[in-house]
């Protein structure tokens, strides 16, 4: 199993990165938390902690800027009914501290607001992860975007997560009309709650 990758950042999107190391480009799936951290670092060479998911028809690398986020990802996919894509969606909709609070305080409705999470899955998340939450250290994430293409990046991320383009665009436009200084990450998080 891979522990981390370090190399040149070739491409960065809200849902994946391509990192070149030893003349090989690795496509690595990421969450918005990791996207934000990479954007803030503004570095050409980056390092991500990895988790590999192997299925019959695919081998996918998931990358995380912190070990804490990777630990949350592993905890999430350990829950029955939560796959890697839903875990990534959860970590894109809420940061690690929010997720920890939702689980500790049994906030089922907040978890249900995340795409792919229904009543039973939210309850299962709380029951199965409540004991693990105490072992995970808190880590504050600052969400700031350095790009001017906030709308395009947010829309692209929502489409990649499986949302209808027209509906996502309407929600994004509504949010942007109310808050012109919003970051890409906050825009996506708010859109995920409203779609």
pLDDT, tens only, 75-103:
999 998 899 999 999 999 999 889 998 99
d(CA 87, CA 22): 30
Virtual CA dihedral for 72, 73, 77, 82, nearest 10 degrees? Answer: 100
Residue 14 covered by a domain:
yes
Q: Distance (Å, rounded) from C-alpha 122 to C-alpha 129? A: 11
Q: What is the CATH number of the domain that holds 113?
A: 1.10.150.20
CATH of the domain at 183: 1.10.8.10
In a domain, 119, yes or no: yes
Q: Are residues 37 and 86 in the same domain?
A: no
125-135 pLDDT, tens digit per residue, is: 998 898 777 65
Residue ranges making up the domain that contains 101: 68-133
- Please report whether residue 141 resides in a domain: no
Give dist(CA 188, CA 168) in Å, integer: 10
59 lies in the same domain as 74 = no
Q: What are the pLDDT digits (tens) for 3-56?
A: 999 999 999 999 999 999 999 999 999 999 999 999 988 888 999 999 999 988
Q: pLDDT tens digit string along 146-161?
A: 333 678 888 888 888 8
| 79 and 126 belong to one structural domain | yes
For residue 96, being part of any structural domain is answered with yes
Asked whether residue 180 is domain-assigned, the answer is yes
Could you give phi then psi for residue 179, rounded to 5 degrees? -145, 95
**Structural domain includes residue 142:** no
Tell me how many domains the chain contains: 3
pLDDT of residue 77: 94
Name the one residue in this structure whose structure tokens are 């999107």.
13
Question: Phi and psi for 116 in degrees, rounded to 5?
Answer: 90, -5
Asked if 47 and 81 sit in the same domain, the reply is no
Residue appearing with tokens 């489409």: 159
- For residue 94, tell me if it sits in a domain: yes
Residues 163, 136: Cα–Cα separation, whole Å = 31
Residue 138 confidence (pLDDT): 41
Match 């902690």 to its residue by tokens.
Answer: 49
């Amino acid at each position: 199993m891979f522990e981390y990758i370090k190399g040149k950042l070739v491409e960065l999107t809200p849902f994946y990165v391509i990192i070149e190391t030893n003349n090989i480009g690795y496509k690595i799936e990421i969450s918005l938390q990791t996207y934000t951290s990479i954007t803030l670092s503004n570095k050409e060479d980056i390092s991500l902690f990895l988790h590999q998911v192997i299925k019959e028809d695919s081998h996918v690398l998931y990358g995380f800027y912190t070990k804490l986020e990777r630990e949350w990802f592993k905890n999430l996919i350990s829950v029955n009914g939560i796959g890697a894509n839903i875990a990534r969606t959860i970590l894109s909709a809420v940061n690690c501290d929010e997720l920890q609070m939702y689980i500790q305080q049994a906030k089922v409705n907040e978890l249900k607001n995340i795409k792919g999470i229904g009543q039973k899955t939210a309850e299962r998340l709380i029951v199965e992860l409540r004991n693990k939450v105490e072992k995970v250290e808190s880590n504050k994430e600052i969400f700031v975007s350095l790009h001017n293409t906030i709308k395009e990046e947010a829309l692209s991320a929502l489409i990649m997560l499986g949302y209808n383009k027209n509906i996502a665009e309407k929600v994004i436009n509504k949010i942007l009309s109310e808050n012109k200084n919003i970051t890409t990450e906050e825009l996506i998080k708010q859109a995920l709650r409203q779609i």
